[in-house]
Structure 1
Amino acid sequence: MKLRSIQVLRGLAALLVVLFHIRSLEGLGIAGNGATEQTLTGGALTNGYAGVDLFFVISGFIMVYVTDGMRHGVKPAADFLFARATRIFPVWWAFAGFMTVYIFAAHGTEGFGMASQGVPAVSYLVRSFLLQPQPAFPVLGVGWTLVHEMYFYIAFTLLMLLPRKWLPALIGVWGLTIIAGTLVGYAVPYAGTYRDLIFYPMTMEFILGAAAGLAVTSGLVWRAGVVTLGASLWLAVALCYQGMETEFTLKWGRVLWFGLPCAVLIYGVASLEARGRIAWLIPAAAGLLAALGVYQMFGLHEASPDALRRDATLLSTIVGGIAMLIVLWFGWLLGQGAPALLLRTQPFFEGILRRMVRLGDWSFSLYLIHMIVMSAMRRIFDLLGKIDALAPVFRLGHEGPLDNVAFIVACLASSLVTAALTYRFLERPAIRFFSKMREQIFYQKRDLLEPA
């Protein structure tokens, strides 16, 4: 059974990453035109990379959730790994292949030398396509997270060889192993070797998600609405207040700062759906959006003074909390005095939910394709920005916000449209094809395994 609430969070995670990279490209465009203005996509979007942390936690949750009730053993484990690998690799190979052709066409074989940091080109490409750890980012940079995803899947497959009742203890041992690796000095900001991959601190986010999955599938649901509201504000605080990246931030800092609120949020929303109380997402979303919106108006970024970021975060959180209370209050009033009017709002919110679920469906394609699309969009803006008559709209760094708004809208719209088309004509057909193949190979009822 597909959890719509988790699909919503998957869509949110993808949007955070897209907006984070829009900010990066906006900054490069401004600098390339010799301007010094701040990007319009600053504020909490400076920390939009936290979408990756949310993805990792969702992955851990989904692995536990979709295998609940499944038999453990060699055949179920092989079935599980086949489903996960065929969900990732076909789409990854399509985009990695595109980037390989592009790099070769634009730079020749020397282009792979620039990308691989000295690793032989053939070895670099093989490891990129197979999602194996190496010192350089894969041929498509965002694929570094898929290296970790495949490691998660393989490790969880091994856990499925043992009885299900052992799973909580095994996941606990896995977490303690990562902590032990940090204590002996194995933790690094980027996993370039197999040892780095095994002891990478952000794997703890997968484990946190798995713990949330164990709690929900075991029926340990407590105050799901309040937990969801609190976790939403907690995540807003993390997105707003987090400042400059440090070595600690790139290791355990991300786990503590973003992984924990994401895990609590996933536990909350999944518990709400299990109890049929998904309407609590409305005040949670209102509070999160209000807090982030207020923080954006301060125009701060990661290098802003700590006191300014702290005070702005405090005010934004208060506003977000008030927004939640207002929504809850109006919902209670309408429920008491005009229930028919309250019911009339259901189609509106159902429509929003369907759109966010659809965005969650596109999220894997969106994650892989957005940098390709937005890099092309930046080139278009660079070319059109050289025409003086078009400079107010296309020359990043031009006086006024019109150029920034046009770039943000163009990048976001083109990425979403391309992701929707990719999902429709590449990803979904691949899902159906390999699902049928899986049925033929394993001769068992198809399980609804969604991408993490």
Structure 2
Amino acid sequence: MPQLYGIQVLRALAALMVAVHHVQADAGFLAARAGTSFTPSHALPWTAGVDLFFVISGFIMVHSSAGLFDRQGGARLFIARRIARIVPLYWAATTLFLAVLLASPALLNSGAPSLQQIAASYLFWPMSNAAGELQPVYSLGWTLNYEMLFYALFGAALLAPGRLVVPLVCVALAGLVGAQALAGPLPLPFGFWGQPIVLEFAAGMAVGLLRQNGLRLDGRLRWLMATVGIALFVIASGDGWAQTSWGAVALRGPAALLLVTAAACGRNVTAPSALVRSLAVLGDASYALYLVHPFAMRALREVFARLAPSATGLFIVLALVAAVLAALAVYHWFERPMTRVLRRALRA
């Protein structure tokens, strides 16, 4: 299967957007420590990297799993591959977070979780913490709780005839959102699963079907779509309604959809530029970047807090570099080898 460089670039940019959001929060902490001011950039809605991830995820599940449609044992293979891909690194990140929390609670500004919350986190099960927030022990895992719901629905749908897989998943997702909207708030976990952001998985699957059915867009149209997508992100950044659950899907969702469609439905690139190749490498490590960047940034923040708390600009640059380097190292020396080991163990 040829590499889709556009999708790889978007994966890298999505993870970097989330990292920029968090590094600015750490820079604000340093500025407060130094008694200076720090104004974060709102050029883009940085947390919309998650919207990009969800649309990309929907696309990739259709694109990469097409060979499992109408295949005996396809559902088992799909679930096994998803477990091998997602579980090792997330469990490692959660375990590391718990270890740091036990060693230095003040470093993470987090209270001790209950045993039930710890178990729920490892099982990708939505559960409120002591503060009433619907977050796992390692808070970034909230997105993976949605991903695992999507994988479970997709895997179950693979038991049906191939032509019904995507419609069945779309109906299930829409049913959850509709029930939450019309009869909510629903009890957990359905109230969590019924948030409108899950519709972005359906949007991504639609793009996957379009590409699978031969859609290839002209280069100028793709650039136009990407420009409109970025413009919608800019609008969403300054719009208060876009920060609500439905507003995010109405503005950030279509922006992500346009960008993913533009990236996915072009002709295959055989000689990408050095910049595209570099971003594609980071795209491979985007899951690692998403999960490990807070550790790299928080460690560097502690150094700056002692030596140069007012140097927020330098901190931001070095923290992003440290996060990227840490992600590449984790991807090459932990994530990829562990995925291979687990796939062999699960015969996937």
1:411 to 311, 319, 336: 319
CA RMSD of aligned residues (A): 2.4
Equivalent residues of 1:374, 1:411 under 8 A apart: yes
1:204 to 199, 203, 210: 199
Is the aligned partner of 1:44 residue 2:43? yes
- Report the counterpart of residue 120 of structure 2 in structure 1: 127
Give the whole-Å Cα distance in 2 for the aligned partners of 1:32 and 1:245. 30
Name the larger-Rg structure.
Answer: 1
Shift of residue 187, structure 1, vs aligned partner: 6.4
AA matched with 2:80: F
2:233 to 233, 236, 239: 239
Give the whole-Å Cα distance in 1 for the aligned partners of 2:139 and 2:78. 27
- Report the counterpart of residue 181 of structure 2 in structure 1: 183
- Report the counterpart of residue 365 of structure 1 in structure 2: 288
Instruction: List per-residue Cα deviations over 1:54-110 (Å, max 9, x = no partner).
Output: 0000000011111213243662101100100111111111111111111112249xx
1:395 to 295, 309, 318: 309
Shift of residue 248, structure 1, vs aligned partner: 6.4
Give the whole-Å Cα distance in 1 for the aligned partners of 2:118 and 2:304. 31
Q: Secondary structure at the match of 1:157?
A: helix
Equivalent residues of 1:22, 1:408 under 8 A apart: yes
Give the whole-Å Cα distance in 2 for the aligned partners of 1:236 and 1:268. 12
Q: Secondary structure at the match of 1:72?
A: coil
Instruction: List per-residue Cα deviations over 1:419-439 (Å, max 9, x = no partner).
Output: 11111110111122123234x
Shift of residue 7, structure 1, vs aligned partner: 1.1
Shift of residue 212, structure 1, vs aligned partner: 0.7
1:225 to 219, 238, 257: 219
AA matched with 1:258: R
Equivalences for residues 337-352 of structure 1 within 5 A: 350-352=273-275
Give the whole-Å Cα distance in 1 for the aligned partners of 2:294 and 2:184. 31
Q: Secondary structure at the match of 1:89?
A: helix
Instruction: List per-residue Cα deviations over 1:28-61 (Å, max 9, x = no partner).
Output: 222233223423xx0324x111101000000000
Give the whole-Å Cα distance in 2 for the aligned partners of 1:375 and 1:268. 35
Shift of residue 178, structure 1, vs aligned partner: 4.0
Instruction: List per-residue Cα deviations over 1:211-268 (Å, max 9, x = no partner).
Output: 11111101233x3423421222123223322246757633121112111121222122
Q: Secondary structure at the match of 1:242?
A: helix
Equivalent residues of 1:224, 1:269 under 8 A apart: no
Give the whole-Å Cα distance in 2 for the aligned partners of 1:14 and 1:429. 21
- Report the counterpart of residue 343 of structure 1 in structure 2: none
Is the aligned partner of 1:14 residue 2:7? no
Alpha-carbon distance change, 185 to 143 in structure 1, aligned in 2, over 3 angstroms: same
Instruction: List per-residue Cα deviations over 1:388-429 (Å, max 9, x = no partner).
Output: xxxxxx232xxxxxx232111110111111111111110111
Give the whole-Å Cα distance in 1 for the aligned partners of 2:295 and 2:31. 19
- Report the counterpart of residue 189 of structure 2 in structure 1: 194
AA matched with 1:44: A
Is the aligned partner of 1:83 residue 2:77? no
1:421 to 323, 329, 340: 329
Identify unmatched segments of 5+ residues in structure 1.
280-345, 385-393, 397-402, 443-452
Give the whole-Å Cα distance in 1 for the aligned partners of 2:189 and 2:154. 16
Give the whole-Å Cα distance in 2 for the aligned partners of 1:425 and 1:6. 23
TM-score computed with the length of structure 2 as normaliser: 0.90
Shift of residue 198, structure 1, vs aligned partner: 2.9
Following TM superposition, the consecutive aligned residue runs of length 4 or more in structure 1 with deviations greater than 6 angstroms are: none
Alpha-carbon distance change, 241 to 247 in structure 1, aligned in 2, over 3 angstroms: closer
Alpha-carbon distance change, 44 to 248 in structure 1, aligned in 2, over 3 angstroms: closer
Give the whole-Å Cα distance in 2 for the aligned partners of 1:362 and 1:248. 29
Q: Secondary structure at the match of 1:69?
A: helix
Shift of residue 199, structure 1, vs aligned partner: 1.2
Alpha-carbon distance change, 143 to 175 in structure 1, aligned in 2, over 3 angstroms: closer
The sequence identity of aligned pairs, in percent, is: 30
1:216 to 199, 211, 220: 211
Equivalent residues of 1:187, 1:199 under 8 A apart: no
Equivalences for residues 113-124 of structure 1 within 5 A: 114=111, 116=113, 121-124=114-117
- Report the counterpart of residue 288 of structure 1 in structure 2: none
Q: Secondary structure at the match of 1:202?
A: helix
Equivalences for residues 54-93 of structure 1 within 5 A: 54-72=52-70, 75-93=73-91
Between Structure 1 and Structure 2, how many residues are aligned? Answer: 340
AA matched with 2:253: G
Equivalent residues of 1:187, 1:201 under 8 A apart: no
Q: Secondary structure at the match of 1:5?
A: helix
Alpha-carbon distance change, 254 to 74 in structure 1, aligned in 2, over 3 angstroms: farther
**Higher RCO structure (Cα 8 Å, ≥6 apart):** 2
Alpha-carbon distance change, 246 to 417 in structure 1, aligned in 2, over 3 angstroms: same
Is the aligned partner of 1:25 residue 2:26? yes
Is the aligned partner of 1:356 residue 2:279? yes
